[in-house]
Structure formats: C-alpha cells, structure tokens
C-alpha cells in the first residue's frame, strides 16, 4: 500500500495531466472531425454527387478521422501507438481479403453512382435481366421486372457486362411486321398502315413513324411497321397497333396470309393406277 501511495504521489500528477490532455485532444478532435465531415458533405453536394454515395463516403471519412483522433489521444496519454497502428493495418488487410466480393460490389456501386449509366425509373437490361430500376444502392441495384418480380442485382455483376438503357433516348421503337397477299393492293395497304400510326394518340410524331416494304416472302408481302413511343407507352402502342392492323385490313378486304400446305392423299386405287 505504501508503494502504491508513493507511486501515486510521484507519477499521479503526470498521468492526470496526460489524461486531461488526452480528453482535450479527443474532444477537440471530434469537433474537428464533425466540421470536416460537414465540409466534405457540402462539397460533394455542390459537386452533384449522388445522395447515397455522398452519405456513404462521409461515413467512411468520419470513421477514419475518428480512428486518427483516438490514436492521437492515446499517444497523448503516453500509450505506444506504433504497434496499435500496425495491428489496425493488419486487421484492415485481413478484412479486405475476406470481403473481396463485397468490396468489388462497393467499387462498382461507386462507379454507377458517379458515371450514372442509368437512374431510378429507367428501363434497363443488365446481367440478362430486363426491368425498371427501383434503387441504386452502394452494393446492389434493385430492379422490378415486367412481371412484377423484384431482382436484387450485385453491382459487380452489373458492371461486368453490357448495360442497355432503354430509357436513355427518351423513346423506344416498336418493331412490328404486317403481311398482305400478293394479289392485294400494296399502296392501299401501306396507306392504311401509315394512317394507323399517324392517328394513334400515343405514337410519337418525332421520330416519325415509318411503314416500308421489308420483304417479298414465300407467302406474303411483308411491311416493316415502325412507330416510336415513350417507355411508359411502349406496350400500349404495341398491342393497340397490332389489333388495329388486323381490324383495318379486314375492313378493307385485304388478306393477311398465313402458311398453307396442300396434302394429297393417295388411296389404293390411285396407287394401283400409278403402277
């Protein structure tokens, strides 16, 4: 007990001063960290950085700065921080190796948020999946498919292949084929098809819809029917125009050919005659 009292008498004031200094360093350091994090967030916001990425990067910056503040406070307290920093570096390396896939998704998420090949609400085809983008997260992209399924796509898988943004140009071309018989009036049929496109309220005027003779097929003369529509109206235009083609050509008495095959059945008498 006497030894402890002597040690406290001799070293106590020094350690109290160090402890007070460490607390001051930690308190001031936290204030500085919050100020720097707020400054960084404002700078990212002015730079137009995506909100999700901005929040994530600010969190990482804040954590790194807090670790540095803690190391500085421990150093002020008199604790050797060299070995502590080495342990942190080794732990960081181990965590990085264990989370390679996650880090790849994170890096891909950063690229997607920075370069913005698509945004929420766009119709895209990525990783072999067609769907509307619900949300771009740091590690995943959330898609809703046309049959209302939610697909969670890892960002590394997104950036590893082609990205088709069907909403990128603001409109989509609807590709349809209409066939008429060789004996029907080609000019009349073309005029009817063009009128169907011109009169449809959801077919865009620009780019202009087109009707052209595409092929002289085995059984029919085939027209390429090419209206343009917004992404939201694509299927309405597709189904409406398909139905109108059938109804209007029927009204005009223009046939829509379909493949036919004549089958000749040879009976026993025909076979005998052939011999």
Given CATH 3.30.70.100, say whether it is the number of domain 172-251: yes
224 pLDDT exceeds 90?
yes
- Strands of the sheet containing 210-216, edge to edge, are 176-180, 221-226, 210-216
Where exactly are the structural domains of the chain? 2-98, 118-165, 172-251
In CATH terms, 2-98 corresponds, of 3.30.390.50, 1.10.287.1260, 1.10.8.620, 1.10.730.10, to 1.10.287.1260
pLDDT at 50: 63
The owner of tokens 């804040």 is 62
Comparison of pLDDT for 176 and 13, the residue scoring more: 176
Question: Mean pLDDT of all residues in the chain?
Answer: 80
How many whole angstroms separate alpha carbon 267 and alpha carbon 274? Answer: 11
Q: Is the pLDDT of residue 16 over 90?
A: no
Tell me what pLDDT residue 173 has. Answer: 93
User: Is residue 7 scored above 60 in pLDDT?
Assistant: no
Task: Measure the CA dihedral 19/20/22/25, to 10°.
Answer: 180
Most confident of 58-62, 78-82, 209-213: 209-213
Q: Is 111:161 a contact under the CB 8 Å cutoff?
A: no
What's the farthest any 2 CA atoms get from each other in the chain?
Answer: 135
Per-residue HEC secondary structure of 132-149 comes to: EEEEECCCEEEEECCCCC
Say whether domain 118-165 belongs to CATH 2.30.30.60.
yes
When mean pLDDT is compared across 154-163, 223-232, 246-255, the lowest value belongs to: 154-163
Q: Exposed, middle or buried by CB within 10 Å (0-12, 13-18, 19+), for 3?
A: exposed
Q: Poorest-confidence range of 68-72, 107-111, 152-156, 212-216?
A: 68-72
Question: Half-sphere exposure of 95 toward its Cβ, with a 13 Å CA cutoff?
Answer: 6
d(CA 102, CA 108) in angstroms, rounded, equals: 10
124-150 tens-digit pLDDT: 999 889 999 998 888 889 999 988 999
The Cβ of residue 23 has, within 10 Å, a number of other Cβ atoms equal to 13
Are 34 and 59 in contact by the 8 Å Cβ rule? The answer is no
DSSP conformational letter for 208:
P
Instruction: Give the Cα separation of 224 and 227 in Å (integer).
Output: 10
Q: What angle do CA 108, 114, 118 make, to 5 degrees?
A: 80
Look at residue 78 in the predicted model and tell me its pLDDT.
67
Residues with Cβ within 8 Å of 69's Cβ and at least 6 positions away in sequence, in order, are 25, 26, 29, 30, 32, 33
DSSP assignment of 54-77, as one string? HHHHHHHHHHHHHHHHHHHHHHHH
pLDDT of residue 73: 74
Q: Which residues of 177-211 are buried (b: 16+ CB within 10 A; e: fewer)?
A: ebbbeeebeeeebbebbeebbeebeebbeeeebeb
């Amino acid at each position: 007990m006497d030894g402890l009292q002597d040690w406290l008498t001799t070293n106590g004031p020094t350690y109290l001063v160090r402890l007070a200094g460490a607390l001051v360093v930690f308190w001031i350091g936290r204030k500085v960290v919050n100020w720097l994090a707020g400054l960084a967030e404002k700078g990212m916001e002015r730079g137009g950085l995506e909100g999700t990425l901005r929040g994530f990067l600010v969190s990482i910056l804040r954590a790194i700065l807090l670790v540095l503040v803690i190391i500085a406070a421990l150093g002020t307290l008199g604790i050797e921080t060299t070995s502590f920093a080495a342990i942190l570096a080794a732990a960081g390396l181990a965590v990085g190796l264990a989370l390679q896939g996650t880090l790849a998704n994170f890096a891909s998420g950063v690229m997607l948020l920075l370069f913005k090949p698509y945004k929420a609400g766009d119709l895209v085809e990525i990783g072999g999946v067609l769907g509307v983008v619900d949300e771009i997260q740091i590690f995943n992209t959330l898609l809703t498919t046309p049959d209302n399924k939610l697909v969670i796509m890892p960002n590394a898988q997104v950036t590893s292949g082609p990205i088709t943004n069907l909403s990128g140009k603001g409109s989509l071309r609807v590709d349809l084929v209409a066939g008429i018989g060789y004996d029907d009036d080609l000019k009349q049929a073309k005029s009817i098809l063009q009128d169907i496109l011109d009169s449809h309220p959801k077919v865009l005027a620009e780019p202009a819809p087109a009707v052209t003779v595409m092929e002289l097929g085995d059984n029919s003369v085939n027209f390429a029917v090419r209206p343009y529509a917004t992404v939201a109206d694509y299927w309405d235009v597709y189904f409406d125009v398909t139905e109108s083609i059938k109804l209007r050509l029927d009204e005009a008495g223009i046939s829509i050919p379909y493949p036919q095959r004549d089958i000749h059945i040879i009976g026993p008498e025909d076979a005998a005659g052939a011999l």
